[in-house]
Amino acid sequence: MKVLGIDVGGSAFKGAPVNTRTGRLLGERHRVEIKSPCPTAHGLAAAREIARHFHWHGPVGVGFPSIILGDKIGRVGNLGDNWEGRNGVVLFSRATGGRVKLLNDADAAGLAEMKFGAGKGHQGSVLMLTFGTGIGSALFYRGRLMPNLEFGHIPWKGKPFEHYASAAAKKRHGLSWVQWARRVNVYLEVVERLCSPELIIVGGGVSKKAGKWLRYLKTRAKVVPARMGNDAGIVGAALAWEHAGR
């Protein structure tokens, strides 16, 4: 099946057509910069630009950084509460002109990694963590997804943990890789107490530089970088069409 996958992040909308059977992008991904919080009209314009860039008229999958309750957008983090309570399927269908399936962005990245990447064939408990503007999380057991886990919002010193240990926090505070890895270790210690994963897959842009910081992590679980890199969110968004039938 060919699906236009759109990965919505705190700094950009990224998309490309995807072959959901192979996980391959069928064109070079197109990126549209945004700012967070993002006005609804600006975000929908970004999705519209991606669809027009590829002259797309087929099915669309959208990975969105929020709780997803059926067709509706639930609690939103960095993108802004103006999105909350809206029917995301209707909004993005109108913007792209295609039929839309919607799911959480970290869940999307996790689906891609479980089907094509670092989690492929793993039947135990797997936690996908994406480090970017915030921290996204997706938990799998025997290959099945537990949707809408927001481990980036675990409270820490009065604020969500992602304010302390996200990739954006590293940049904002000018942290070295070692200094940032110490913060990530604090976060991972809490997360491991909550769900005891056997495998942790780390994604987001920082996964491309895993050699600079992964060796400083101290966990009970095995930690590996995402194999699909920044394409995981796009591919996983397209996989929403397969996941919706489960």
Which tokens belong to 149? 């886990």
Instruction: State the span(s) of the chain assigned CATH 3.30.420.40.
Output: 2-107+231-243, 121-227
Total residue length of the chain: 246
Residue 224 CB coordination number (10 Å): 17
Classify the C-alpha dihedral 61-56-31-232 as positive or negative: positive
pLDDT digits (tens, 9 = 90+) for 13-49: 999 999 999 999 999 999 999 999 999 999 999 999 9
pLDDT digits (tens, 9 = 90+) for 192-222: 999 999 999 999 889 989 999 999 999 999 9
* Residues 183, 127, 172: CA angle, nearest 5 degrees: 30
Q: How far apart are CA 210 and CA 51, in angstroms?
A: 32
Q: What is the CATH number of domain 2-107+231-243?
A: 3.30.420.40
Specify the pLDDT at position 246: 53
pLDDT digits (tens, 9 = 90+) for 66-115: 999 999 999 998 899 999 999 999 999 999 999 999 999 999 999 999 99
CATH topology of domain 121-227: Nucleotidyltransferase; domain 5 (3.30.420)
Specify the pLDDT at position 41: 97
Residue 222 CB coordination number (10 Å): 12
User: How many Cα atoms within 13 Å fall on the side-chain side of residue 80?
Assistant: 13
Q: How far apart are CA 147 and CA 67, in angstroms?
A: 9
DSSP 87: B
Q: Are 131 and 204 in contact (CB under 8 A)?
A: yes
pLDDT above 80 (res 245):
no
Q: Are 31 and 74 in contact (CB under 8 A)?
A: no
Classify the C-alpha dihedral 99-106-35-6 as positive or negative: negative
pLDDT over 90, % of the chain: 91
pLDDT digits (tens, 9 = 90+) for 129-147: 999 989 999 999 999 999 9
Those residues whose C-beta lies under 8 Å from the C-beta of residue 172, and which sit 6 or more positions away, are none
Residue 113 forms beta bridges with which residues?
none
Residue carrying the six token digits 């600006």: 42
Q: Average per-residue pLDDT in the chain?
A: 95
